């Protein structure tokens, strides 16, 4: 066991060849450990004369937390000068990359640690900045500096995809007001490989990225998948005009759920005169509404219908709920032609004047993206292969219901499940 106080300090700080000069303890706040480099006086690289101390600049570095507290390493550096008048060397600052690399605001060990947290454990820069009580940029700069060295920038990595997807991702919340910064992921959707991430969610950066790939590469893209975003559509219109555009099923269903939620909140406001409170029937059924129909058991369904009876006097939320379910059923069709007709008919049906305003807006969007939505049935490529697979397999029971309805009505036309069908009204 080590009992020498100086040595104990050095062991706790854990850095080689440093003197621990002291600790600044602001009660409950960040712990500041003041150090300097220990070692013989250096000689001038130009003439070999012994150097003299010119200055002791202090840098403060974010370090790893210790004993549950955030830590800063305060490094009293040595600025050395050559006193040989005939030597061209004037002065230099002592460095030690084992403590920190030049111009880094973080210690070497903290830089490696945050890079591993982000790269291996998928943690966000924001989260780590919170944990270390430092600025977002400090962590981000370190991750970039250490991470870039690890990236194997193999040009063949990108390959020659035949189906390309663009998807927006929230990258970070920055500044005092947590302003959102977005990025665009460029994905080989057949291989399920992330090709690159570019800043923003406009079309400019993806266009620039695609332009650098060359004409032959672009001509190879047969399918282009996207969420229901105008800018991405423009990217593909411009850069890959011959590729078939495919709207991602996940985003189509998500939009139907969003419109349902908007409708629920509006009706809530109109009937109760206030925003959602936890005892309001429409607030209580918000999760049941967006749950897939086949995942509602008898109890859930009874509860939902009871809450709708209590909170939805004109049946608007119910209509939006049915609309969402019919939108999900788009992905039940296997015949691309019929799927296209179904989307077209549904888009018009949902714009019926009897429908709530949110459902009419959904209908307009479906029509605007009709070709891209129906194209999924040709291509079966998607930004979210997993989500699409889940949607497909989970639709089983609804298919059975649809089949029964078709038999009962004696029509084989698929749009008999559309919104005005008595089956949905009766549910
Ligand atoms: Zn010199």
Q: How does pLDDT run across 180-230, given as a tens digit for each residue?
A: 878 888 888 777 677 888 888 889 999 999 999 989 999 999 888 888 889
Using a CB cutoff of 8 Å and minimum separation of 24, what contacts does 82-90 make?
Answer: 82/44, 82/46, 82/47, 82/49, 82/51, 82/52, 83/49, 83/52, 84/44, 84/46, 84/47, 84/49, 86/47, 87/44, 87/46, 87/47, 87/49, 88/46, 89/44, 89/45, 89/46, 89/47
Residue 146 confidence (pLDDT): 83
Segment 94-117 mean pLDDT: 89
Tell whether 217 is covered by a domain.
no
Residues 9 and 140 in one domain: yes
CA of 54 to the centre of ligand 1 (A): 14
Has residue 118 got a pLDDT over 80? yes
Domain C-terminal end among 338, 355, 379: 379
CA of 15 to the centre of ligand 1 (A): 30
Residues 31 and 141 in one domain: yes
CA of 52 to the centre of ligand 1 (A): 10
Residue 85 confidence (pLDDT): 87
Does residue 105 contact residue 96 with C-beta atoms inside 8 Å? no
Segment 156-172 mean pLDDT: 81
Total domain count for the chain? 2
Tokens, residue 140 = 């981000």
CA of 45 to the centre of ligand 1 (A): 6
Has residue 305 got a pLDDT over 70? yes
The neighbourhood of ligand 1, an ion, using CB within 5 A, equals 44, 46-47, 82, 84, 87, 89
CA of 377 to the centre of ligand 1 (A): 76
Order the strands of the 91-93 sheet from edge to edge: 52-55, 79-81, 91-93
Q: Give the separation between CA 408 and CA 285, rounded to whole angstroms.
A: 31
Residue 154 confidence (pLDDT): 64
CA of 92 to the centre of ligand 1 (A): 11
CA of 7 to the centre of ligand 1 (A): 35
Does residue 207 contact residue 179 with C-beta atoms inside 8 Å? no
Tell whether 308 is covered by a domain.
yes
Residues 12 and 135 in one domain: yes
Express as a percent the part of the chain with pLDDT over 70: 86
Q: Give the pLDDT band of residue 132 (cuts 50, 70, 90).
A: very high
Q: Give the pLDDT band of residue 247 (cuts 50, 70, 90).
A: confident
Please state which of the ranges 245-249, 277-281, 365-369 shows the lowest mean pLDDT.
277-281
CA of 85 to the centre of ligand 1 (A): 8
Domain C-terminal end among 129, 151, 173: 151
Does residue 311 contact residue 267 with C-beta atoms inside 8 Å? yes
Q: Give the pLDDT band of residue 412 (cuts 50, 70, 90).
A: very low
Backbone angles phi, psi at 54, to 5 degrees: -100, -35
CA of 87 to the centre of ligand 1 (A): 5
CA of 80 to the centre of ligand 1 (A): 10
Residue 423 confidence (pLDDT): 28
Side-chain-facing half-sphere of 140: CA atoms under 13 Å: 9
* Burial state string for 184-197 with b = 16 or more CB within 10 A and e = fewer than 16: bbbbbbbeeeebee
Residue 396 confidence (pLDDT): 33
CA of 35 to the centre of ligand 1 (A): 27
What SS3 state is found at 249?
Answer: helix
- Which one has a higher pLDDT value, 145 or 72? 72
Tell whether 239 is covered by a domain.
no
Domain that holds residue 340: 249-379
CA of 250 to the centre of ligand 1 (A): 68
Q: Give the separation between CA 329 and CA 326, rounded to whole angstroms.
A: 5
List for the chain the helix, strand, coil content (%; round to 5): 50, 20, 35
Tell whether 318 is covered by a domain.
yes
Tokens, residue 24 = 């600044």
Residues 146 and 262 in one domain: no
Tokens, residue 291 = 């749950």
- Which one has a higher pLDDT value, 377 or 303? 303
Per the prediction, the chain carries an average pLDDT of: 81
CA of 90 to the centre of ligand 1 (A): 7
Q: Give the separation between CA 213 and CA 96, rounded to whole angstroms.
A: 42
Segment 292-308 mean pLDDT: 86
Residues 139 and 263 in one domain: no
Domain C-terminal end among 151, 186, 205: 151
pTM of the entire predicted model: 0.57
CA of 34 to the centre of ligand 1 (A): 30
């Amino acid at each position: 066991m080590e009992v020498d106080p100086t040595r104990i300090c050095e062991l706790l700080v854990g850095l080689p060849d440093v003197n621990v000069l002291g600790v600044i303890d602001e009660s409950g706040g960040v712990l500041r450990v003041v150090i300097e480099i220990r070692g013989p006086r250096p000689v001038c690289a130009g003439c070999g004369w012994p150097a003299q101390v010119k200055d002791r600049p202090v840098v403060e570095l974010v370090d790893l937390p210790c004993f549950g507290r955030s830590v800063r390493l305060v490094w009293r550096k040595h600025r050395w000068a050559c006193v040989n008048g005939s030597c061209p060397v004037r002065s230099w600052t002592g460095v030690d990359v084992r403590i920190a690399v030049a111009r880094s605001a973080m210690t070497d060990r903290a830089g490696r640690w945050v890079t591993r947290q982000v790269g291996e454990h998928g943690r966000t820069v924001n989260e780590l900045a919170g944990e270390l009580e430092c600025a977002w940029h400090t962590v981000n700069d370190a991750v970039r500096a250490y991470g870039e060295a690890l990236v194997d920038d193999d040009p063949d990595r990108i390959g020659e995809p035949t189906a390309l997807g663009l998807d927006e991702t929230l990258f970070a919340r920055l500044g005092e007001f947590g302003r959102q910064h977005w990025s665009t992921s460029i994905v080989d959707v057949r291989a399920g490989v992330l090709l690159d991430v570019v800043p923003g969610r406009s079309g400019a950066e993806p266009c620039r990225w695609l332009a650098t790939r060359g004409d032959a590469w672009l001509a190879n893209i047969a399918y282009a998948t996207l969420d229901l975003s105008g800018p991405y559509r423009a990217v593909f219109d411009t850069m890959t005009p011959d590729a078939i555009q495919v709207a991602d099923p996940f985003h189509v269903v998500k939009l139907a759920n969003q419109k349902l939620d908007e409708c629920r909140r509006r009706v809530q406001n109109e009937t109760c005169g206030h925003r959602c409170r936890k005892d309001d029937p429409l607030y209580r059924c918000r999760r049941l509404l967006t749950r897939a129909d086949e995942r509602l058991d008898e109890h859930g369904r009874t509860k939902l219908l009871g809450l709708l009876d209590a909170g939805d006097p004109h049946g608007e939320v119910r209509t939006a709920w049915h609309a969402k379910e019919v939108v999900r059923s788009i992905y039940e069709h296997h015949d691309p032609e019929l799927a296209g007709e179904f989307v077209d008919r549904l888009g018009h049906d949902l714009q019926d004047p009897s429908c709530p305003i949110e459902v009419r807006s959904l209908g307009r969007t479906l029509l605007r993206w009709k070709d891209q939505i129906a194209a999924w049935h040709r291509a079966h490529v998607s930004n979210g292969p997993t989500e699409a697979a889940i949607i497909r397999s989970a639709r089983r029971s609804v298919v059975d219901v649809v089949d029964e309805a078709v038999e009962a009505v004696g029509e084989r036309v698929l749009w008999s499940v559309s919104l005005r069908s008595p089956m949905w009204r009766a549910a």
